[in-house]
Structure 1
Amino acid sequence: MPAPNAITPEKLSRLVGTAHCPRILDLRDSPDRVIPGAVTGSPPGGPAAGSTVVVVDDDGGTGATAAAAVLRSDGVDAEILGGGHAAWLAARLPTVSPAHLPPRHADGRTWWVTRSRPKVDRIACPWLIRRFVDPDARFLFVPPPEVLAVAEREQAEPFDIADPRVFWSHRGDRCTFDIMVEAFGLADHAPLTRLAAIVRGADTDRLDIAPEAAGLLAISLGLSRSHGDDHAQLDAGMLVYDALYRWARDAHGERHDWSSHQPGRARVPA
């Protein structure tokens, strides 16, 4: 049974990658691996009153306990991760490498820039970043010829653009989403590898890779034509990828037809 104001690694792992995940604050100094979505250090202004936060240190000791207590005194619903990062690792739960994470701006957020009028990769990648890397990441959508100039002017990380100077782009038969899953150290997380195959198929016109790729392409093209504003389309697309991730994590083996969810019929006596 977890201690008061503590959450177990297993329970937190069910929230990671979903829209309902609490803010995760990692107190450790320059860690080489973090829990997906965790932010290291203190964000500017601190968590807002009424928000939900999980504080992580090495072992769930005094450092995390004290920080969570201070946050609760400010009206933040704060818990510690029971056993700290060591317990998370012992449970063999996924972690993220921040090695390729761009520097944070003064607002505490990473900034990213890509081509306007997104379809597949340019919605999938922001979803991955916000759910597993930086929940507050800012995304700029600009005309294709302006991506690199805006990246330099705003110190934003360019992605999904065909230029040899851009790290986050297609490589061979892999799309940008594939590159991000690998570079952030998430290639061993089975739900994301299932999702990556779907994104790759939809984004590279190889619909045979995964049966779901054709559906994702159809939805993506429909969203693009339903929204004139790229940020409104991103908001709508986040829901699509949230659903696909939950399918890939919890329901990929489930089947459905007319009879699969019908209540059983009572046997009529002869």
Structure 2
Amino acid sequence: MATCWLVLTATLPTNPSGLRVRVWRALKATGAGTLREGVYVLPEHAPSAKSLWELERTIGEAGADAHMLVVQARDEAQEQSFRALFDRSELYAEFLQTVKETRKTIKKSSEGDLHKGLRALEVQLQALQSNDFFPGKDGQKAADALAALRREVELHLSPDEPGPTKAAIAPRAIAEYQARTWATRKRPWVDRLGTAWLVQRFIDRKPTFAWLSDPKRCPKTALGYDFDGATFTHVGDKVTFEVVAESFGLLNDPALKRLAGLVHYIDTGGIPVDEAPGFEMLIRGLQAQHADDDALLAAALPAFDAYYAALQVPHDQ
């Protein structure tokens, strides 16, 4: 199917330079390709297409000349020449090289630096993908490389971090999970703390939590979570919090679903969440304050309560 193309032509005055600078920055943000000076191309299906239309209006309102054309390439050769303007292969190659260099530093970097590096790579890949209007193997290869790096970092920092399974997420009845012992790995991080909060606030009215030095020795009567072979653990790209929430039919709650997104991003990356750096720092601070895991959970519960409450407040308030 032939692509519909937006072609923006603009004639901008040399002086004052403010309009030219503003237009240049806006064009760069849309990811538009340049045919020649003053002629810019963008596929109509690009998420930034609306911004290009707005730019045409902005230029006109500033008293300069701008016209938007909606066209199709006249033949396959022209179609390919247009698409070539959006070849992101070199950018993906640079990204893969950065991932490769980061991998070399894992053993000598601090935990904080490793997490910071992963966050930077997440943002970089997100920006690349948002302007990759004809995604292909390069984008998938970059995403796979970042996922592999994240897993390598997780195993370095926490050798018993669970690997994802392909099992189906079975529906469960809350009434059958009362006054149970929920067991997970000691020194819980965001996913384990968040899951404990989820259990205590929405599932089990009288839970007991056990912190395991060796997950392989999890008591048979306990419900294990967030380790290999546990009752609840990572499934596909879902972290344990999401698996437990889905199992008990809790993700119809919009605020809870957004909280699940926060936990997912901090634990394994993915779609960035603005509040993630601050919330992650808060949990690290609580870990530093509390060597006892029961005390850590008790301190973390109000943090999750507050964030969940904030997500329930309408945006216009």
What letter is aligned with 1:177? F
Structure 2: how far apart are the matches of 1:169 and 1:150? 14
Aligned to 2:236: 172
Structure 1: how far apart are the matches of 2:257 and 2:264? 10
Secondary structure of the residue aligned to 2:313 is helix
Secondary structure of the residue aligned to 2:284 is helix
Q: Report the alpha carbon displacement of residue 147 of structure 1 after superposing the two structures with TM.
A: 2.1
Q: Report the alpha carbon displacement of residue 102 of structure 1 after superposing the two structures with TM.
A: 6.1
Structure 2: how far apart are the matches of 1:120 and 1:191? 17
Backbone CA RMSD of aligned residues = 2.0
Counterpart contact for 1:125–1:176, Cα < 8 Å = yes
Go from structure 1 to structure 2 and tell me whether the alpha carbon gap of 1:101 and 1:141 turns closer, same or farther (over 3 Å shift): farther
Matched, 1:148 2:222: no
Aligned to 1:127: 197
What letter is aligned with 1:112? W
Q: Report the alpha carbon displacement of residue 148 of structure 1 after superposing the two structures with TM.
A: 3.4
* 5+ residue gaps, structure 2: 1-170
Counterpart contact for 1:159–1:169, Cα < 8 Å = yes
Aligned to 1:99: 173
Go from structure 1 to structure 2 and tell me whether the alpha carbon gap of 1:195 and 1:254 turns closer, same or farther (over 3 Å shift): farther
* 5+ residue gaps, structure 1: 1-96, 256-270
What letter is aligned with 1:241? F
Aligned to 1:160: 226
Q: Report the alpha carbon displacement of residue 150 of structure 1 after superposing the two structures with TM.
A: 2.8
Structure 1: how far apart are the matches of 2:175 and 2:277? 31
The C-alpha deviation readout for 1:142-187, integer Å capped at 9, x for no partner, is 21xx2232322xx1110011x2x32311122211001011100012
Structure 1: how far apart are the matches of 2:206 and 2:232? 19
The structure with more radius of gyration: 2
Go from structure 1 to structure 2 and tell me whether the alpha carbon gap of 1:224 and 1:190 turns closer, same or farther (over 3 Å shift): same
Q: TM-score, normalised on structure 1?
A: 0.51
Q: Report the alpha carbon displacement of residue 100 of structure 1 after superposing the two structures with TM.
A: 7.0
Structure 1: how far apart are the matches of 2:175 and 2:284? 29
Aligned to 1:238: 301
Q: TM-score, normalised on structure 2?
A: 0.43
Aligned to 1:191: 255
Structure 1: how far apart are the matches of 2:175 and 2:192? 17
| Number of aligned residues | 147
Secondary structure of the residue aligned to 1:167 is coil
Go from structure 1 to structure 2 and tell me whether the alpha carbon gap of 1:130 and 1:220 turns closer, same or farther (over 3 Å shift): same
Mapping 1:1-270, distance limit 5 Å:
98-99=172-173, 104=178, 109-143=179-213, 146-152=214-220, 155-161=221-227, 163=228, 165-206=229-270, 208-251=271-314, 253=315
Counterpart contact for 1:148–1:158, Cα < 8 Å = no
Structure 2: how far apart are the matches of 1:111 and 1:254? 41
Go from structure 1 to structure 2 and tell me whether the alpha carbon gap of 1:182 and 1:214 turns closer, same or farther (over 3 Å shift): same
Q: Which structure is higher in helix share?
A: 2
Aligned to 1:3: none
Q: Report the alpha carbon displacement of residue 250 of structure 1 after superposing the two structures with TM.
A: 1.7
Structure 2: how far apart are the matches of 1:167 and 1:233? 23
Structure 1: how far apart are the matches of 2:276 and 2:250? 21
Counterpart contact for 2:183–2:209, Cα < 8 Å = yes
Go from structure 1 to structure 2 and tell me whether the alpha carbon gap of 1:222 and 1:254 turns closer, same or farther (over 3 Å shift): farther
Q: Report the alpha carbon displacement of residue 114 of structure 1 after superposing the two structures with TM.
A: 0.5
Secondary structure of the residue aligned to 2:283 is helix
Go from structure 1 to structure 2 and tell me whether the alpha carbon gap of 1:103 and 1:232 turns closer, same or farther (over 3 Å shift): same
